[in-house]
C-alpha cells in the first residue's frame, strides 16, 4: 500500500510539470535504475541518473516545440516557424 501511495504521489507531482521537466525526471529515474543494475554500485546509479536526466530534458525540450515546422528558404537555409493550423 505504501508503494502505491508513493507512486501516486510521484505521478501526480510530475503531471504538473512541463515536457522538459517530465523528461528530465523520467530520464533520471530510468538512468539511475539502469546504472544501479549495470554496475551494482551507488556511483553507477548517480552517473546513470545524471546522464538520463540530461537526455530526458533534451527529449522533453524537443517535444515542447512540436508545434513548429522546419522549412528551407530559397538559399537552402533551414528555419523553423509555427506550423499551419489547417492541416
Would you place residue 47 in the very low, low, confident or very high pLDDT band (cuts 50, 70, 90)?
very high
The answer to whether 85 and 67 have CB atoms below 8 angstroms apart is no
> How confident is the prediction for the chain on average, in pLDDT?
82
Alpha helices, H only, the chain: 2-15, 19-39, 42-64
Average pLDDT over residues 17-42: 87
Please report the pLDDT score of residue 58 as a whole number.
Answer: 87
C-alpha distance across the termini of the chain, in Å = 47
Q: What is the dihedral of CA 56, 59, 5, 36, to 10 degrees?
A: -30
Please determine, for residue 4, whether its predicted confidence score (pLDDT) is greater than 80: no
Average pLDDT over residues 53-71: 81
Would you place residue 73 in the very low, low, confident or very high pLDDT band (cuts 50, 70, 90)?
confident
For helices 19-39 and 2-15, angle between their N-to-C axes, nearest 10 degrees: 140
Amino acid at each position: 500500500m505504501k508503494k502505491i501511495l508513493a507512486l501516486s504521489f510521484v505521478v501526480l507531482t510530475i503531471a504538473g510539470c512541463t515536457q522538459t521537466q517530465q523528461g528530465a525526471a523520467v530520464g533520471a529515474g530510468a538512468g539511475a535504475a539502469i546504472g544501479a543494475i549495470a554496475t551494482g554500485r551507488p556511483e553507477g546509479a548517480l552517473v546513470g541518473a545524471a546522464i538520463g536526466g540530461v537526455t530526458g530534458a533534451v527529449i522533453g525540450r524537443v517535444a515542447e516545440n512540436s508545434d513548429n515546422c522546419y522549412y528551407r528558404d530559397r538559399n537552402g537555409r533551414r528555419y523553423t516557424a509555427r506550423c499551419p493550423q489547417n492541416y
